[in-house]
Structure 1
C-alpha cells in the first residue's frame, strides 16, 4: 500500500492530507494543518511514512518544493488549471478538500 500526501499551501498555514492507495481502492487517511514551513511539514510527512508529495503551483510552491526535496521527499508540483479540472465536481472549496484532491490526483498518477 502506498501513501502520498497532498498539500494546499497557504501563506501562513498549509493543509495536508494523507491518501493511501492499493490495487483496489484509494482513500484519505488523515488530515493535518501546520505552519507553512518546510521543517514542520517535513516532520509530519516523515512521521506518516510519506515519500511522495503533491502541491499546486503557486507563489509558495517553488521554494517549498525545493526544501522538501532537500529533505528527501519526491515532490510533484501540479499545474493549477489541471488541478481545478480534476476537482471540478466539487462545489465546496476548502483548503482541506483541495489538499485531499491534490493527494488523490497524485495517487492516481494524474
Structure 2
C-alpha cells in the first residue's frame, strides 16, 4: 500500500501544502489559510489516507501540532535548522517549493523531530514572561518618577517597599501644584 506525506510551509496567515507519495511524486499542492480546520478539511478531501503531516518548528508550531493531532493526523514538527539547510539547495525558493521540500524530507526521514511542550507548559511560560514584563515596566516607571522628582529637589528613600510606592510618592507631589498636575 502506498504511503502519502504532507509538507506544510507555514506562514502567519497561510500555508503552502504539498502531498507526495512514497516514491516522491507530487500529487497535490494548494495554498490554504493557516487554520487547523482549513488544513484538516483539505487533507480529509484527499482520496487516500495520509501517513504523516510535517512542518518546521516556528511560532505557529504548537497551535498546528495539537490542532492537527486532535483532528486525527500523525504530526511531526521538524528541527528548523535542518529543514533550512536541506531547503537551501533549492534554486527558486517559494512557499510552494518549500512545502515540496518539507514533504520530501518527511518522506525520507532525514530530520530530527522537535519535542512539543504541552499547552499547560506554554501557558505557564506565558504567565511567567508576562509577570516579568510587568515587573520591568513597573520598575522603569518608578525610576522615571524618581528622576522627575529629583529635578524638583524631592529625593525618595533609596528603597521603597514593594506595593507602597504610590503611598510614599503621592503625599510628596501633592504639595506642589506643578508636580501634582504633571504626575497625578
Same fold, TM-score > 0.5, yes or no: yes
Aligned to 1:65: 65
SS at match of 1:104: helix
Aligned to 1:82: 82
Partner deviation per Cα, 1:29-59 (whole Å, 9 max, x = no partner): 1101111110010011121132410011000
Please show how residues 37-48 of structure 1 align to structure 2 within 5 Å.
37-48=35-46
Aligned to 2:117: none
- Could you say what the CA RMSD is over the residues aligned between the two structures, in angstroms? 1.0
Structure richer in helix, relative to its length: 2
Poorly superposed stretches of 4+, deviation over 2 Å: none
Contact 2:3 2:51 in 1 (8 A): no
Aligned to 1:100: 100
**Gapped regions of structure 2 (runs ≥ 5):** 111-184
Higher relative contact order (CA 8 A, sep 6+): 1
C-alpha distance in 2, partners of 1:79/1:5?
Answer: 16
Larger radius of gyration between Structure 1 and Structure 2: 2
**TM-score normalized by structure 2?**
0.56
Structure richer in strand, relative to its length: 1
**TM-score normalized by structure 1?**
0.92
C-alpha distance in 1, partners of 2:31/2:88?
Answer: 23
2:17 matches 1:16: yes
SS at match of 1:50: coil
**Gapped regions of structure 1 (runs ≥ 5):** none
